[in-house]
Amino acid sequence: MEQHRAIVVGGGIGGLTAAVALHRNGWQVTVLERAADLAPVGAGIGLAPNAQRALDVLGLGDRVRELAAWQGDGGMRAPDGRWLARTNAGAAAARFGGPLVLLHRATLVEILTSALPDGAVRTGTAASLADPGDDHRPARLTTPHGETEAELVVAADGIRSATRHALFPAHPGLRYAGCTTWRVVIPAPATPFAPHETWGAGRLWGTQPLKDGRIYAYAMATAPAGGRAPDDEKAELLRLFGGWHHPVPEILAAVDPAQVMRHDVHHLYDPLPAFHQGRVALLGDAAHAMMPSLGQGGNQAIEDAVVLAHHARSAPGFLPGRDLAAYTADRLPRTTAIVRKAARTGALTMLSARPAVALRSTLVGAVSRFGPGLVLRGFDGITDWHPPVAPAPPA
């Protein structure tokens, strides 16, 4: 059978998952990644049961689940260490039908690339869209090696997607969310700790264990766009969080300043008119960059990939006008709602006026008295998602 060609622009989590999903459905897939290698940023990523179920479709869900490291208690704290809301790994897993898994991004990339044929990923290859194509002509891309054609182009080129801009030049684009983030992966502190997220005035810190004995620590604070510490980012973190409860000071003491990554938060608050045009499907941050406050950006990219492959499953009978419109119809409303919810949650976590922070702590505490399940309900409708099921072939 003649194989139909899909080109994925961008070898991040979304692009690699799309490549695996399309390859399993019979497409001949090439991933073009502009970076010299696939080494992702040295940070963790939380995959919730929704993304794990999507990965089940690809036969990869259990490889992620076995990396679950959170056991016992955890929850939300105040900077002085008071618990505002407590929950535990068992309650979270029971609520969502599976564990919340924190893994290193490099591990996820390894799991995804292991499911691709040799040579499917071409690094050091930036691609730009020359023509999105339509039902009657292929899409065309320009690469450093010349022009290339494909029946399907997956634009997974990230938050600053040039493909998005080429397809929807009138869209207002990214908005600065008013805050910046820091991330680091280091060996676990010697003194035991419970996984936590701690909310202060205009600041947040989280510490989560990884299966390999390290921890993933992340922080967020309100800040003007483009700011950088006058000395180094470890010193900035010490100024902002050095007086917070255990294990924050112990972690900061152990951090090498060169390991601390800082990124401003931007999001696509205004939805795109569609996630496709011609033979091009946008996916992941290229389509719906969101604040990290729900930890769903990567999860949604993985959902996108599996839903896209579901609609494009019969490569020979692929009709872009019909199949990619079905992809947009499935994904745009859901991801728009999650972008908005992430923005609302982000605004709540970044409250800085003292009375508002005190009221927030009281409310979180009051809600948690009704049981840990309630604290987790902000994720209702997100983590309980199930992938679409392919119709049975005609008898």
Ligand X SMILES: Cc1cc2nc3c(=O)[nH]c(=O)nc-3n(C[C@H](O)[C@H](O)[C@H](O)COP(=O)(O)OP(=O)(O)OC[C@H]3O[C@@H](n4cnc5c(N)ncnc54)[C@H](O)[C@@H]3O)c2cc1C
Contacts to ligand X by CB under 6 A: 9-15, 32-35, 45-46, 126-128, 156-159, 162, 181, 183, 218, 263, 284-286, 292, 295-299, 301
Instruction: Give the closest residue to 216 by CA, choosing from 224, 207, 225, 227.
Output: 207
Q: Are strands 5-9 and 152-155 parallel, antiparallel or unpaired?
A: parallel
And the tokens for 248?
């924050």
3-state SS, residue 52: helix
* Pick 15 or 372: Cβ nearer ligand X: 15
Task: Compute the least distance from the CB of residue 358 to ligand X, in Å.
Answer: 27
* Pick 31 or 361: Cβ nearer ligand X: 31
- Chain centroid offset of residue 39 CA: 16
Task: Compute the least distance from the CB of residue 148 to ligand X, in Å.
Answer: 12
Quote the DSSP letter at residue 137: S
Residues ≥6 apart with Cβ < 8 Å to 27: 3, 4, 5, 6, 152, 312, 315
* Pick 122 or 365: Cβ nearer ligand X: 122
What are the φ and ψ backbone dihedral angles of 221, each rounded to 5 degrees?
Answer: -155, 150
Tell me which amino acid residue 215 is: I
* Pick 61 or 295: Cβ nearer ligand X: 295
* Pick 87 or 361: Cβ nearer ligand X: 87
And the tokens for 376?
């987790």
* Pick 203 or 361: Cβ nearer ligand X: 203
Report the alpha-carbon distance of residue 316 to residue 336 in Å, rounded. Answer: 31
* Pick 46 or 247: Cβ nearer ligand X: 46
Task: Compute the least distance from the CB of residue 169 to ligand X, in Å.
Answer: 16
* Pick 12 or 372: Cβ nearer ligand X: 12
In terms of C-beta distances under 8 Å and separation of at least 24 residues, what long-range contacts does 268-272 make, across chains too? Answer: 268/173, 268/174, 268/175, 268/339, 269/175, 269/339, 269/340, 269/343, 270/171, 270/172, 270/175, 271/332, 271/335, 271/336, 271/339, 272/164, 272/168, 272/171, 272/332
* Pick 35 or 255: Cβ nearer ligand X: 35
Task: Compute the least distance from the CB of residue 319 to ligand X, in Å.
Answer: 25
* Pick 197 or 285: Cβ nearer ligand X: 285
And the tokens for 241?
């969080």
Task: Compute the least distance from the CB of residue 321 to ligand X, in Å.
Answer: 24
Task: Compute the least distance from the CB of residue 376 to ligand X, in Å.
Answer: 15
Report the alpha-carbon distance of residue 79 to residue 200 in Å, rounded. Answer: 6
> What residue has token string 């182009």?
153
How many helices (H) does the chain have, and how many strands (E)?
13, 18
Task: Compute the least distance from the CB of residue 263 to ligand X, in Å.
Answer: 5
What are the φ and ψ backbone dihedral angles of 237, each rounded to 5 degrees?
Answer: -65, -40
Report the alpha-carbon distance of residue 199 to residue 197 in Å, rounded. Answer: 7
Task: Compute the least distance from the CB of residue 31 to ligand X, in Å.
Answer: 9
Q: Which residues pair with 87 in a beta bridge?
A: 74
Tell me if 140 sits within 8 A of 130, measured CB to CB. yes
Task: Compute the least distance from the CB of residue 28 to ligand X, in Å.
Answer: 18
Task: Compute the least distance from the CB of residue 24 to ligand X, in Å.
Answer: 18
